[in-house]
Amino acid sequence: MAKRTIVALPGDGIGKAVLDETIRVLNAAGFDAEYIEGDIGWEFWTTEGNPLPQRTIDLIEKHKIALFGAITSKPKDAAFSELAPELQKEGLVYSSPIVGLRQHFNLDICMRPCHTYKGNPLNFIRRGADGGVEEPLVDVVIFRQNTEGLYGGVEWSNPPEKVYDALMTHPKFVKNFGNTPKEDISVSTRIFTKKATERILRGAFEHAKDFGYKSVTVCEKPNVIRETSGMMYKMAQEMQKKDYPDIELWNTNIDAQMMWLTKNPEDYGVIVAGNMFGDIVSDGFAGLIGGLGFACSAQFNPDSGIGVFEPTHGSAPKYADYETSIVNPIAMIESACMMLDFINEKDRATKIRKAVAEIISEGKVRTYDMMKMRGRADVVEQGAASTKEMADAVIAKL
Interface contacts to Mg ion, rule CB under 5 A: 279
Examine residue 72 and tell whether it contacts ligand NAI (CB under 6 A): yes
Residue 12 CB, shortest distance to ligand NAI, in Å, is 7
**Residue 330 and residue 271: Cα distance in Å, rounded?**
23
108 CB neighbour count, 10 Å cutoff: 25
Q: What are the phi and psi torsion angles at 260 (to 5°)? A: -65, -25
Question: Which residues, 90 to 149, sit near ligand NAI by CB under 6 A?
Answer: 98
Q: Would you give the binding string for ligand NAI spanning residues 360-379, x where CB under 6 A is met?
A: ---------x-----x----
State the binding partner of 219 from ligand NAI, Mg ion, none, CB within 5 to 8 A by kind.
Answer: none
Sign of CA pseudo-dihedral 385, 32, 357, 298: positive
Q: Does 38 bind ligand NAI (CB under 6 A)?
A: no
According to the binding rule CB under 6 A, does residue 317 interact with ligand NAI? yes
Distance between CA 252 and CA 273 in Å, rounded?
Answer: 10
Question: Does residue 56 bind ligand NAI (CB under 6 A)?
Answer: no
Give yes or no for a contact between 59 and 36, defined as CB atoms under 8 angstroms apart: yes
Residue nearest to ligand NAI (CB): 314
Task: Quote the least distance from Cβ 230 to ligand NAI, whole Å.
Answer: 29
* 70 touches ligand NAI by CB under 6 A: yes
Minimal distance, residue 228 CB to ligand NAI, in Å:
24
CA max distance for the chain: 68
Contact status: 8 vs ligand NAI (CB under 6 A): no
Binds 340, which of ligand NAI, Mg ion, none (CB < 5 to 8 A, cut-off by type)?
none
Q: Considering beta carbons, is residue 49 or 284 the nearer one to Mg ion?
A: 284
- Residue 87 or 276 having the CB closest to Mg ion: 276
Burial of 144 (0-12, 13-18, 19+ CB in 10 A): buried
- The torsion angle over the Cα atoms of residues 361, 363, 368 and 371, rounded to 10 degrees, is 100
CA atoms of 58 and 63, how far apart (whole Å): 9
d(CA 97, CA 327): 23
List residues near ligand NAI by CB under 6 A: 70-73, 98, 292-293, 310, 313-318, 327-328, 331, 369, 375
